[in-house]
Chains A and B, each alone.
Chain A
Amino acid sequence: MALEVNGKSYEVDEEGYLANLNEWNPEVAAALAASDDAELTESHWEVINFLREYYEEYQIAPAVRVLTKAIGKRLGKDKGNSKYLYELFPYGPAKQACKYAGLPKPTGCV
Chain B
Amino acid sequence: MSVTKKFVYINRKAPYGTVYALESLEVVLIGAAFEQEVQLVFVDDGVYQLTKGQSTEGVGMKNFSKTYAALGDYDVNQIYVDEQSLKERGLSMDDLQALTYEDEDDDWAEKSSMQLVNREQLAALIGDADVLLNF
Choose one: A58, A66, A69, A73; the contact of B67 (CB below 8 Å). A58
Cβ contacts A68-79/B at 8 Å (1 or 0 each) = 011001000000
Contacts of B30 in A (CB 8 A): 107-108
Q: Does A102 contact B (CB under 8 A)?
A: no
Chain A residues in 8 Å Cβ range of B74: 63, 66
B69 & A58 in contact (Cβ 8 Å cutoff): yes
Does the CB pair B32–A59 fall under 8 Å?
Answer: no
Contacts between chains A and B (CB distance < 8 A), count: 39
CB distance from A63 to the nearest CB of B (A): 6
Chain A residues contacting B67 (CB-CB under 8 Å) are 58-60
Which range holds the interface residue count of chain A?
A: 10 to 19
Contacting residues of chain B (69-126) with chain A, CB-CB under 8 angstroms: 69-70, 73-74, 108
**Any A CB within 8 A of the CB of B52:** no
Can you show 21 pairs from A to B with CB atoms below 8 A apart? A54-B70, A57-B70, A58-B66, A58-B69, A58-B70, A59-B63, A59-B67, A60-B29, A62-B70, A62-B73, A63-B74, A66-B70, A66-B74, A107-B26, A107-B29, A108-B26, A108-B29, A108-B30, A108-B31, A108-B32, A108-B33
Q: Which residues of A contact B (CB under 8 A)?
A: 54, 57-60, 62-63, 65-66, 69-70, 73, 107-108, 110
Q: B residues bordering A, Cβ < 8 Å?
A: 26, 29-33, 62-64, 66-67, 69-70, 73-74, 108
